[in-house]
Amino acid sequence: QEPLKKKLLLKISGRNHTEFEPGRMRFHRGSFSLEILNTSRDDGRLYEYSVYKGSEEEVWQIQLEVFEPVADPSIRILHQESSNGSCSLELSCSSERGDEVSYSWDSRDGGTGGLCRANGSVLALSFPLRSAAFGCVCTARNRVSSGRAAFDTAQCGS
């Protein structure tokens, strides 16, 4: 049976500390925190923090999750139809980068009576062409970042 091996990142003894990967990690003595530099997906794993008090060892386990930030999304027109003085649009919002991305829609200025409000990447809306042009904004977000893109309804019918 193979022994369980653990990789040490930092060892503190009294006032002295040893960083085992100085180019990858930075220890902040003031806050007693360890910073990972240039984080990558491989850094998402289980970490342990142990403190020895006499003959006792206290162990904390921390699961680190690494998320790729979202890129600003882009909006595509899936369907567009204008007839009898009204416009029907189906818009799709997508971000090319990011982990666990969720999408929502809202109006650019908070007006338009909730026409632009939707959850998910697709927005379907219908409105009279004579109404003042308004903007719908798609927000792509995950736990670490968000990005926005706007669509101007004046593009309908043109």
State the amino acid at position 74 in one-letter form.
Answer: S
Q: 71 near 98, Cβ under 8 Å?
A: yes
List, in order, residues 6 or more apart from 52 with CB less than 8 Å away: none
Q: pLDDT band at residue 130, thresholds of 50, 70 and 90?
A: confident
Q: Which of 148, 146, 138 is nearest to 77 (CA)?
A: 138
pLDDT tens, residue by residue, 91-120: 999 999 999 999 999 988 766 667 889 999
- Among 74, 75, 77, 50, CA closest to 61: 50
**Mean predicted confidence (pLDDT) in 110-138:** 84
Computed over its alpha carbons, how large is the radius of gyration of the chain? 26
How far is 158 from 55, CA to CA, in rounded Å?
78
Cα separation of 115 and 126, whole Å? Answer: 8
How is domain 73-152 classified at the CATH fold level?
Answer: Immunoglobulin-like (2.60.40)
- Longest CA span, the chain: 83
pLDDT band of 34, cuts 50, 70, 90: confident
Q: Alpha-carbon distance 37 to 136, whole Å?
A: 38
Kindly list the domain boundaries of the chain, sorted by start residue.
7-63, 73-152
Instruction: Indicate whether this model's pTM tops 0.75.
Output: no
What is the share, in percent, of the chain residues with pLDDT greater than 70? 96
Q: Please name the residue that has the structure tokens 């022994």.
A: 3
State the residue for tokens 């026409």: 115
